[in-house]
Structure 1
Amino acid sequence: MLTKSNTSKATQRQRRVQRKVDADDRAAPKSKSKGAMQAGAREYPEPPFPKQHHRKPGHESEIRPAPLYDAPFWTGSGKLDGKVALITGGDSGIGRAVAVLFAREGADVAVVYLSEDKDAETTGRAVEAEGRRFLALRGDVGKRAFCRKAVEATVKRFGRLDVLVNNAAFQVHSTDFADLTEEHFDTTLKTNLYGYFHMAQAAVAHMEPGSAIVNTGSITGIDGSKELIDYSMTKGGIHAFTRALSGNLIGKGIRVNAVAPGPVWTPLNPSEKQAKDVSQFGAEVPMKRPAQPEEIAPAYVFLASPQCSSYITGEILPVIGGY
């Protein structure tokens, strides 16, 4: 049992520590607002961006500054040699960056896109510049028949299918929950959930042991977003789908994982937010800027490559700028 003397000493010790910290706080210079964190191989754009608002589905060629996708510092090392990958939403944004790195790692690439022909052509040139074959497939992933045709076309062209990246997405905010229409809700679910389900079901029929499915989730599927209720709902569903499907496909030797990005500078957000909000996109995260697509793509290489992640399935990998 402590005596009064002992407790008095403990109290004095606590107060000495407190006085030291108080003095340090008073003496410390007032912190200045620091810029965005730059820890990559090159410096990345940070807010404020030019005010802009683009029509859906958004065209990467119109975004300013242009998203960075080519990862010039990335040296391929054969992580996907001889593989064939099918990437939905592969014409722009994260999908384009993934297509480029997959090609650099030795994969032939097919991309699915909705209607952005010029963006798809740019992606195709980038893939072919890496010495790999490319196939562009235009259509709506919300339609089951198209998903089956896309998979069949990929297998017919390249002879196999080893990696499916489910990445296509629809996102538009709704500030007031009462304003979220059935058409809006239905469009989000058809693209973000039905599309993933249909593509995965079609792809699995052609996949051999050692293949992989990588889904694009989101920080909104973990934390939710009050103005993106429908989108958050689908992204949470994608995370659950990833975990459930991974268990179902273990016996077939097919791994299923997801990447859950935070804010990324792609056509998705400048076509979703108002111009003034686009200007400050990504400023709220600890790194004080959005990711560029080329900063997210390595996570997909990691999860797609059997050299890197053969013992990983059913995982959600957040890449969220320090949240």
Structure 2
Amino acid sequence: MTDVSFQDATERLEAGFGDYFALLKPRVMSLVVFTAFVGLLVAPVPVHPFIGFIGILCIAVGAGASGALNMWWDADIDAVMKRTARRPIPAGKVQPGEALGIGLTLSVFSVILLWLATNAMAAFLLAFTIFFYAVVYSMWLKRATPQNIVIGGAAGAFPPIVGWAVATGGISVESVLMFVVIFMWTPPHFWALALFMKSDYDDAGVPMLTVTHGRKSTRKHILVYAALLAPVAVALAFTSVGGPVYLVTALAMNVWFVKGSYDIWRRDETQAEADNYLTEKKVFKFSLLYLFGHFGALVVDAVFRNAGFGAWV
């Protein structure tokens, strides 16, 4: 368990609804809900709207449970990092035990309800996702290896597979490719963040690649992962869920992402620091749009198919 002794020196403040909601990491939850919804929507098996709503609700609650467990475990390092110092636990508004209780309760609730409302496969995948993020990534990998975000990124890549399973009760090539797109996107996304966040991870003692291997190696890794991501993302266009809108979107966004990663890799170390961080921040901001662009395009193609415009393959 994490050392949260810093709480002893923190003024106890009264928590409001917003503080408890912040435990669920609503920004992360929004991406989880969106990609899970796309996985459900593009699946070949129609789902009753009410069942689909319950399925997405359970996935959202499960994601929030993961966030609460992560904040409970990481409370000590959150207090050190500027980006996370105002989170409810280090800010003294929510006690660690409360976060743990909320995380465990929501985990059990979301998995059981998803099982009852949909199927065992979807419930199992959701339970595994929560376990992977809270235990494998947060408790083990994050503080143990610079490959933390590489392996741990799988947790954020499972939602479309869970959404697909809600509809179909199984896993397919299409859902696995959606998983791989998010899985390969996660490292360059977070490494770009680590580059312009300067010393946050170093101060917290988290072995992010920028800390263990330096900035130059991190920039090289970003370029390699962006180059490996591109063909996987484009390949999804040639499956049953792809289409012309997705293909054009994937080609355009991956060319830009690889070009931006290349600019980060080749930049001059003697260049003004402000200019360097501007490049890194630009790539990070674009990476936020990257998944929404790809998964949004899948939805557009699905709408065209359902409107009778025919399949792509």
TM-score above 0.5? no
Query: Higher relative CO (CA 8 A, sep ≥ 6), structure 1 or 2?
Result: 1
Structure showing the higher helix proportion among its residues: 2
TM-score by length of 2: 0.31
Bigger-Rg structure (1/2): 1
TM-score by length of 1: 0.31
